[in-house]
Structure 1
């Protein structure tokens, strides 16, 4: 059984209830630790298709903040190291996260992401590939655009703005979905994927500049 099949087979009443419980307590904890503001999340929740949610990445907190503050379920691609902590790993699994091995061309994780998207599920992944504590996002990697084009889904740019200090403000702002319909049946080259992800990167940067 593939990873995506196992993840989808976890949509039993018990697992769904477990996720609701995890989300409930995670949201309480995060709301006590930070002052969380979420804007335009309906752009994701009301989207009539699966998609890739693509935020900038500043902190490990991002992996729980984004899925916890959305009523619509999204699967999360999270670095494998985060699952080594049993408690944090359990929380991530409760939020439907699956591990990805960074820097090793994790084919299994990519196949899982494409399969989930084709089955109508949405996923969240960080195109920067690692955390960036600077004021501006690092150069986005083209993996997200490759997955989106293969699965024929849009990418939703998201900005996360915070210093992640105790009781500090965390802003999560959803942008408009970016579609690549004209590329779905086209033979894509490396520079085509680069051009796609640059559109997403620029959209995230604009959201950050506008809402900082």
Structure 2
């Protein structure tokens, strides 16, 4: 049993009853092939909440600082996470993300780049649009609806795959694609609030 599978079952056993986590739309996630999973970010518990509700293993891009923390630096690689240097174009992280998608894996991204301080959806960063344009991966918007309060329901909603063909054909900018993805996340938040 891999560390990912073990950790997923342990975390599921703890988080699901405490936060009554409900998954909606998991059937929208393609069973195979590269997938870019794009979610809003409201809490440190978002990656585990998405990880236990998504039917496929996810490789999350996580801020580099976490890979220097005493315990996390040994655990994160086993959980398929990889580091990204924030605030700059981290070419190594971009290459790694594209390679994962080409291999048919699920790449988990929080387009805002950081947690929302007020719970409202912030502006997305262009990196998400870059991955969508540079790969053939399916793009799945995801909305996490909290707050994480004990025994109050948290919803993780997976939207329909977005059609990226038009953006790819007309060579849209990464910013334009990111904005479209953020609109889809906003619609899910509004619909399932």
Normalising by structure 2, we get a TM-score of 0.90
CA contact (8 A) 1:34 1:170 kept: yes
Cα displacement string for residues 10-55 of structure 1 (whole angstroms, at most 9, x for unaligned residues): xxxxxx53321111111112124311111011211x3443110000
The alignment status of 1:181 with 2:165, answered yes or no, reads yes
More off after superposition, 76-85 vs 52-61: 76-85
Give the equivalent residue in structure 2 for 1:204: 185
The alignment status of 1:128 with 2:109, answered yes or no, reads no
More off after superposition, 82-91 vs 135-144: 82-91
Query: What SS class does the counterpart of residue 29 from structure 1 fall into?
Result: helix
Which segments of 5 or more consecutive residues in structure 1 lack a partner in the other structure?
A: 1-15
**Shift in Å at residue 64 of structure 1?**
1.7
**Shift in Å at residue 89 of structure 1?**
4.5
Give the equivalent residue in structure 1 for 2:12: 27
CA distance in 1, matches of 2:28, 2:145: 18
The alignment status of 1:169 with 2:171, answered yes or no, reads no
Give the equivalent residue in structure 1 for 2:135: 151
CA distance in 2, matches of 1:168, 1:147: 34
CA contact (8 A) 2:133 2:164 kept: yes
CA contact (8 A) 2:3 2:79 kept: no
Query: What SS class does the counterpart of residue 207 from structure 1 fall into?
Result: helix
Answer 1 or 2: higher relative contact order, Cα 8 Å, separation at least 6: 2
The alignment status of 1:105 with 2:89, answered yes or no, reads yes
Count of aligned positions: 193
Normalising by structure 1, we get a TM-score of 0.82
Alpha-carbon spacing, 1:29–1:61, altered in 2? closer, same or farther (3 Å): same
